[in-house]
Amino acid sequence: MTPMSTRNEDSRPGSRSVLLAAALAAALAALGLATSSAAPPPPESATGASIERGRYLTHDVAMCVQCHSPRDDKGKILEGREFLGAAMPIRSPYPSVQFAFNAPNIRELARSHGDSVIRLLRTGIDRNGKAPDLPMPPFRMNAEDAESIVLYLRSLN
């Protein structure tokens, strides 16, 4: 008998989650909602997790800002309201796959459930013990990146 694999099957290239994450990125780009050019990553700090790294990751890498922020009637993210939760800006491109209707307020989640947000970003499992609704990707971040995101979200007013 061989041991069971601990690898999440949804993280394999060509899996449903990877394909849906790619479809989400393509849909955001087609709608002109994706970041036009990513800034270079901030330098590593001697102390590890940092607010600036969290800003970079949420805006330019994981692009959390795209789904978790409300928009005006022209689709532009409302400045100063980033990460306060919003209606999902795109629909599932697959008829049999339902996307979440709303993206939660992750500023508040980082403040009240920071450890759960870190767990989600590191394992793909939410505070209820399940994967969040699509199109949320099944992230597998390292501890420093996940902590940086929580620090950044907590720093916002």
pTM score of the predicted model:
0.70
Question: What is the b/e burial string over 101-127, where b = at least 16 CB atoms within 10 angstroms of the residue's CB?
Answer: eebbbbbebbeebbebbbbbbbebebe
Please determine, for residue 98, whether its predicted confidence score (pLDDT) is greater than 50: yes
Please tell me which residue, 138 or 3, carries the higher pLDDT value: 138
What's the pLDDT score for residue 157? 83
Please tell me which residue, 43 or 131, carries the higher pLDDT value: 131
Share of the chain above pLDDT 90, in %: 67
Residue closest to 57 by CA, chosen among 141, 156, 119, 157: 141
Read off the pLDDT band of 116 (50, 70, 90): very high
119 with 125: CB under 8 angstroms?
yes
What's the pLDDT score for residue 89? 86
pLDDT in tens, 70-89: 999 999 999 999 999 999 98
